[in-house]
Amino acid sequence: MATNKKSNGAIKEAPKKSEKTREDKEKKPRSLKPVLYVAIAAMVVVIAIAAYMMSGPVTNPPLNISGNQTVTMNMYQECAQLMNKDTAEGFIKKLVSDYYLGTELRTYILSIPKVANCSSESGKWFSSPYSFEIGDGYVTTTLNDYFVKSNFKKGIVANTMTIPSEDIAKGVFVYVTRDASGKLSYVYQLINQSSFTFDYYNPLLIDKYSIMNVPTIVFNCNQAVVARDIPLVRVNSTGEIINVSNLMKSPPFLSMLTCIHNKGVPESICRPLGIVMANNQTMQFESPVKDFLSVMPLINYDTGVESCRPSEGVTQVQAFYTVDCPECDAQRAVLNSIETQFAGALDVSYYCVGDSAECKRFVQASN
């Protein structure tokens, strides 16, 4: 039998094989599985909390940050990330979360900053051009060739919209259309090409003229014309059926109204429409204007204000519209063409009717 060296004068026997095995097991390191389970559970909790804080209220699409952030972000990426998800300036909140819920089908018109204004962690403030893209489940903002991509729930955005930096710098309107509950589509338009700009916002004048409906046109400050809520009317002399909703955006009809209020001037336009000034004193109405006037499917009312006609031969037209009004948009295009046709004989101004903050934003955009 093998023996160990003496210890305190005694001789110890070598341990049995079974005892040695037990001691060896006790000397081996403990298993890491329980520790890993605890760590993984803790990590899941942290991720869940972070995801909740990042996504905001439960009505907002869950937001995650991905893209070229595998390395430490520079100040451009920090700014891009801020623009993507910040609650005050973030595009996710403005372009997705605020609009995708709801059953009403409608279009929202938004403006976005012309430049990215940010402060880096070092405290350096800078203003930078940027480009922007939104698609199904993501939004990407790029500054100085550095981008940050933020993800949200797929199935909300129906199309991809990319706005280059050169257009953003000029100023754009973004049109957000809710095609169905939880479904959004996007297009954009340069502000200086959009009809949703206004010359003035004057709530006192709106009240003074008693503007209750849009579109409403006021001629020379004292005569207001607004379409009635009647779908069809028959012109007696011709038997023709006229869609009243189209009258206020009809070039001949608006030209007739302009000629009537402008006393038949210019004659080259007004006479073919049946509006003739007889002996420079009274107007004579002939066809086709006579047929329209026989039924006059419009509400006409006196504003109670004296005429503000600037001079003989010039009619002042004030058009009162709201931002979200397809009829106003259609009529504006016609008025613009008529103003060109009448040259110096017509002066048209556009007034915004509605919420003060919204109107002032569109008035400022036009200026």
**pLDDT tens profile 233-291:** 444 444 554 454 455 555 677 888 888 888 888 888 888 878 887 766 666 776 666 66
Mean per-residue pLDDT, 121-143:
86
Residue 230 has pLDDT above 60, yes or no: no
CB 138 within 8 A of CB 151: yes
Amino acid 1: pLDDT:
38
Residue 360 has pLDDT above 80, yes or no: yes
| More confident of the two residues 350 and 332 | 350
| More confident of the two residues 63 and 209 | 209
Residue 71 has pLDDT above 50, yes or no: no
Amino acid 44: pLDDT:
45
Residue 185 has pLDDT above 90, yes or no: yes
Mean pLDDT check: name the lowest of 26-40, 137-151, 159-173, 180-194: 26-40
Amino acid 14: pLDDT:
41
The Cα 257–Cα 346 span in angstroms is 12
CB 199 within 8 A of CB 351: yes
Nearest residue to 294 via CA among 256, 327, 261: 256
| More confident of the two residues 115 and 65 | 115
Which percentage of the chain shows pLDDT scores above 70?
A: 65
Domain ranges for the chain, please list them.
Answer: 59-192, 203-366
CB 333 within 8 A of CB 319: no
By CB atoms closer than 10 A (0-12, 13-18, 19+), residue 164 is: middle
The Cα 241–Cα 26 span in angstroms is 101
Give the pLDDT band of residue 323 (cuts 50, 70, 90).
confident
Residue 199 has pLDDT above 80, yes or no: yes
Residue 36 has pLDDT above 60, yes or no: no
Residue 23 has pLDDT above 80, yes or no: no
Average pLDDT, the chain: 74
Beta bridge pairs of residue 300: 225
CATH topology of domain 203-366: Glutaredoxin (3.40.30)
The Cα 99–Cα 105 span in angstroms is 10
Mean pLDDT check: name the lowest of 85-89, 174-178, 217-221, 346-350: 85-89
| More confident of the two residues 64 and 206 | 206
Q: Give the other-Cβ count within 10 Å of 24's Cβ.
A: 9
Model pTM score = 0.57
Q: Look up residue 226 and give its amino acid.
A: V
CB 177 within 8 A of CB 159: no
CA 223 to chain centre: 34
- Enumerate residues 6+ apart whose C-beta is below 8 A from 174: 95, 109, 110, 111, 112, 161, 163, 186, 187, 188
| More confident of the two residues 50 and 138 | 138
Structure tokens that stand for 261 in this block: 């209020």
| More confident of the two residues 122 and 7 | 122
Nearest residue to 327 via CA among 226, 269, 248: 248
Give the pLDDT band of residue 157 (cuts 50, 70, 90).
very high
Structure tokens that stand for 195 in this block: 């009809």
DSSP 272: G
Ranges of beta strands (E only) in 144-263 are: 146-151, 161-163, 172-180, 183-190, 216-219, 223-227, 232-234, 241-243
Mean pLDDT check: name the lowest of 22-31, 112-121, 357-366: 22-31
Mean per-residue pLDDT, 210-224:
91
Structure tokens that stand for 168 in this block: 């953003």
